[in-house]
Amino acid sequence: MRQTAAPAGRIETIRPAGRLEGLVRLPGDKSISHRYAMIASLAEGPSRITNFSTGADCHSTLGCVRALGIEVEEDGTTVKIQGRGLDGWRESPGDLDAGNSGSTIRMMSGLLAGQPFTSRIFGDESLSRRPMDRVMKPLAEMGAHIEARENRFPPLVIRGGELHPLDYTLPVASAQVKTCVLFAGMFADGETIVREPMRSRDHTEIALREFGAEIRSAQRVITLEGRPKLTGREVIVPSDLSSAAFFLVAGLLVPGSSLVIQNVGLNPTRSSLLDFLLSIGASITVLRIESVNGEPVGDIQVRHTPVRGGVIEKELAAALIDEIPVLAVLGAASEQGLIVRDAQELRIKETDRIATVAENFKRMGITVETTPDGMIVPGRQKFRAANFDSFGDHRIAMAFAVAALAGDGPSTIEGAEAASVSFPEFWGILNGLRG
């Protein structure tokens, strides 16, 4: 297997659960937190972001913004950012550190490309293996000069300068690339257009509109007017539906469970997760829904239910890409199993998630057939206790902690600290829900 094991880290022991019950409050959405921090740092005047993600990834973004001369004050999960307008960033005295965060490096690249100075941005070992040519290509077409290791891997040296607007058709469904191009388009005079092959999460469009940019979107074509005047404001981040996914699956898996997840983001570009779970027979109820800063937010309840299983392919594979590891776990317990196709993007996430899911399945005695773009997981399999490895990947750590709840004895997760990339509170919350 291509993955290198994470350096021996913290080990969590997870015992099988009798039932899970209670109220779950989750940290702020990772995708939205990144965007609010970046946009607020280019707005005029102060912004106050409430329920900012506690994940390390979003703190990598805050670190970059600070290094670019913007005042950032943190008080628990409230972040105050003192924006100085679109031209308010200053050259960083040192290299920018994106840590483990693909969103930070790809989205910041668009903003750095429009600056009148050069920046160098790097990441950890996992990020250094992830392709950046998907953002380098459109940025080069806009006039940016970017150098990368082997022309595609971090670190990136971004020689910022004048940019032209672009009409760009995304070759892959990627919200990070869409955001990168739109962010660069803010520094170009005229209209930048992004055309998407499939709809990807639209938090950038919503957030830019909230902060005052002129942005239109219809039928997967997004048009942004360059040089927007962004104004600092107060925004609240909904809780992260991708973090909720672990508790939704845990609630479905463990007999007798009933969980209510509060104030979670229900943006339709993310909530295909709920549609998919409902379509395979899950008992999930949306208890309340409202709009907060243009984002739908609500409370959901999940109750233990046996699920049928199904197929994740095409647009659904793109929409559920972050949730597939934990859905694969559910698939192994389902009646008919789970087939995943068209998900080759899984191979270039924080780890090759097809390989890391398969390796952990093997350790617990679960049969899986991997394919270049997915996997076939037969249903009705017995979950054995095992020693799992996160391979340094937050979503793998959490997906197999959920699997361990249905094991036949105590399991361990090595490299459990990886969860902190998006969800440091995960272990505490999980242990607090045992009935």
In the block, residue with structure tokens 């600092």: 232
Closest to ligand S3P by CB, 14 or 135? 135
Please pick, among 29, 97, 299, 322, the residue that the annotation labels catalytic.
Answer: 322
Token pair of 84 as six digits: 């100085």
Which residues, in sequence order, are CB contacts of 297 under 8 Å at separation 6+? 238, 239, 263, 264, 265, 266, 289, 290, 291
Q: Which of 31, 119, 272, 381 binds ligand S3P (CB under 6 A)?
A: 31
Site for ligand S3P in 214-243 (CB under 6 A): none
Which residues, in sequence order, are CB contacts of 150 under 8 Å at separation 6+? none
Which residues, in sequence order, are CB contacts of 20 under 8 Å at separation 6+? 247, 250, 251, 254, 257, 258, 259, 405, 433, 434, 435
The C-alpha atoms of residue 221 and residue 11 are separated, in whole angstroms, by 46
Task: Label residue 7 exposed, middle or buried (CB < 10 Å: 0-12, 13-18, 19+).
Answer: exposed
Site for ligand S3P in 317-356 (CB under 6 A): 321-322
Cis peptide bond upstream of 155, omega within 30 = yes
Closest to ligand S3P by CB, 350 or 359? 350
Closest to ligand S3P by CB, 41 or 179? 179
Site for ligand S3P in 176-195 (CB under 6 A): 176, 179
The C-alpha atoms of residue 375 and residue 107 are separated, in whole angstroms, by 30
Closest to ligand S3P by CB, 366 or 396? 396
Nearest Cα residue to 1 out of 416, 360, 405, 397: 360
Tell me the backbone φ, ψ of residue 121, rounded to 5 degrees.
Answer: -125, 135
Q: Which of 175, 182, 252, 399 binds ligand S3P (CB under 6 A)?
A: 175
Closest to ligand S3P by CB, 96 or 333? 96
CB of 350 to ligand S3P, least distance (A): 9
CB of 57 to ligand S3P, least distance (A): 9
Q: Which of 100, 103, 239, 257 binds ligand S3P (CB under 6 A)?
A: 103
CB of 127 to ligand S3P, least distance (A): 12
Token pair of 268 as six digits: 């339709």
Which residues, in sequence order, are CB contacts of 342 under 8 Å at separation 6+? 313, 314, 317, 318, 373, 374
User: Which contiguous run of DSSP H or E holds residue 163?
Assistant: none
Closest to ligand S3P by CB, 176 or 293? 176
Site for ligand S3P in 269-328 (CB under 6 A): 321-322
Q: Select from 20-28, 84-92, 174-182, 271-279 the region that touches ligand S3P (CB under 6 A).
A: 174-182
Q: Kindly state the number of chain residues that form the binding site for ligand S3P, as judged by CB under 6 A.
A: 9
Q: Select from 70-78, 168-176, 256-264, 385-393 the region that touches ligand S3P (CB under 6 A).
A: 168-176
Q: Which of 53, 174, 334, 360 binds ligand S3P (CB under 6 A)?
A: 174
| C-alpha 278: how far from chain center | 22
Site for ligand S3P in 197-216 (CB under 6 A): 201
61 binds ligand S3P (CB under 6 A): no
Asked whether 81 and 37 are in contact (CB, 8 A), the reply is yes
Whether 322 is catalytic is yes
Q: Select from 172-180, 189-197, 211-219, 426-434 the region that touches ligand S3P (CB under 6 A).
A: 172-180
Partners of residue 167 on adjacent β-strands? 193
Q: Dihedral through CA 287, CA 289, CA 292, CA 295, nearest 10?
A: 110
- Please give the positions annotated as active site: 322
Site for ligand S3P, rule CB under 6 A? 31, 103, 174-176, 179, 201, 321-322
